[in-house]
């Protein structure tokens, strides 16, 4: 199976995927920001990189998405992995890759979609926070959930401390989800929910707090 990873910044989840020895040929890492630190990491790991600077396209989101789709299709990707890709994709783009595009979000969806999730979780006083891998749909951060990991929220947490604990779990569950996809073990049902094979369930579709 061939995949591409889309990034906008440091690429820590990208690196976790590339280092996970998955049954996947990562054909390219694509960034909308020329200075994204993850590009150098990808090159250092022997993965081809592509820069599509969104600023070149101005406010024309459809034109940018068309150029992005052309790059994805050029390498023959079976799966698109969003890893800190800070672009809202057009509905047409999302539907083009329906069932073949995954995202990692730093919250326990459907709670706290969007940005600043850790600060919002602390402000809300939640006792459990975490991260979610989900299929991408036109509604942002609302696609069918594949796997989640939870961490406890501690009394002395700051957004930065909480983010660090959540990020460690992101690096754990994103490679799991991509491997399950590559092995054909994810099933997106007509009811909109994702079901997994028994072996996946045994690994854990919810990684629970340990204290």
pLDDT digits (tens, 9 = 90+) for 138-163: 999 999 999 999 999 999 999 999 99
- Radius of gyration of the CA atoms of the chain, in A: 17
Which long-range contacts does 124-131 make (Cβ < 8 Å, 24+ apart)?
Answer: 126/153, 127/152, 127/153, 128/152, 128/153, 128/209, 129/153, 129/162, 129/166, 130/166, 130/169, 130/207, 131/104, 131/105, 131/106, 131/107, 131/166, 131/167, 131/169, 131/170, 131/173
**pLDDT (0 to 100) of residue 181:** 97
**What would the DSSP string read from start to end of 108-129?**
-TTSS-SS-HHHHHHHHT-SEE
| Residue entry with tokens 């460690």 | 168
Catalytic residues: 105
CATH architecture of 1-97: 3-Layer(aba) Sandwich (3.40)
Stated pTM of the model: 0.95
**pLDDT (0 to 100) of residue 198:** 80
pLDDT digits (tens, 9 = 90+) for 45-102: 999 999 999 999 999 999 999 999 999 999 999 999 999 999 999 999 999 999 999 9
pLDDT digits (tens, 9 = 90+) for 66-80: 999 999 999 999 999
DSSP label at residue 65: H
Q: Is the pLDDT of residue 211 over 60?
A: no
Q: How confident is the model at residue 199 (pLDDT cuts 50, 70, 90)?
A: confident
End-to-end CA distance of the chain: 37
205: left (phi over 0), alpha (psi -120 to 50) or beta: alpha
Look at domain 104-211 and name its CATH class: alpha beta
Q: Is the pLDDT of residue 36 over 70?
A: yes
Q: Tell me which residue of 202, 133, 128, 201 sits closest to 165, measured CA to CA.
A: 128
Q: How confident is the model at residue 210 (pLDDT cuts 50, 70, 90)?
A: low
The alpha helices in the chain, defined as continuous H runs, are 12-18, 37-44, 61-74, 91-96, 117-124, 159-182, 198-203
**pLDDT (0 to 100) of residue 51:** 98
| Residue entry with tokens 């992005």 | 68
Give the mean pLDDT of 174-198.
93
Do 1-97 and 104-211 fold alike per CATH?
A: yes
Give the mean pLDDT of 7-20.
98
Domain boundaries, the chain: 1-97, 104-211
pLDDT digits (tens, 9 = 90+) for 106-138: 999 999 999 999 999 999 999 999 999 999 999
Cβ distance 17 to 27 under 8 Å? no
């Amino acid at each position: 199976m061939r995949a591409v990873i889309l990034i906008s910044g440091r690429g820590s989840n990208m690196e976790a995927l590339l280092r996970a020895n998955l049954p996947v040929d990562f054909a390219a890492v694509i960034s909308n920001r020329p200075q994204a630190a993850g590009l150098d990491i990808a090159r250092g790991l022997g993965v081809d990189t592509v820069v599509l600077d969104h600023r070149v396209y101005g406010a024309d989101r459809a034109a940018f998405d068309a150029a992005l789709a052309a790059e994805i299709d050029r390498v023959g990707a079976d799966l698109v992995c969003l890893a800190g890709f800070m672009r809202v994709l057009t509905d047409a783009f999302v539907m083009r890759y329906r069932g073949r595009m995954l995202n990692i979000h730093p919250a326990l969806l459907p709670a706290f979609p969007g940005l600043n999730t850790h600060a919002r979780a602390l402000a809300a006083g939640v006792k459990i926070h975490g991260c979610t891998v989900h299929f991408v749909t036109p509604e942002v951060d609302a696609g069918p959930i594949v796997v989640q990991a939870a961490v406890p929220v501690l009394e002395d947490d700051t957004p930065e401390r909480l983010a660090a604990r959540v990020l460690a779990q992101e690096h754990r569950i994103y490679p799991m989800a991509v491997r399950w996809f590559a092995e054909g073990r994810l099933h997106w049902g007509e009811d909109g929910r994702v079901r997994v094979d028994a072996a996946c369930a045994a690994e854990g579709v919810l990684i629970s707090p340990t204290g």
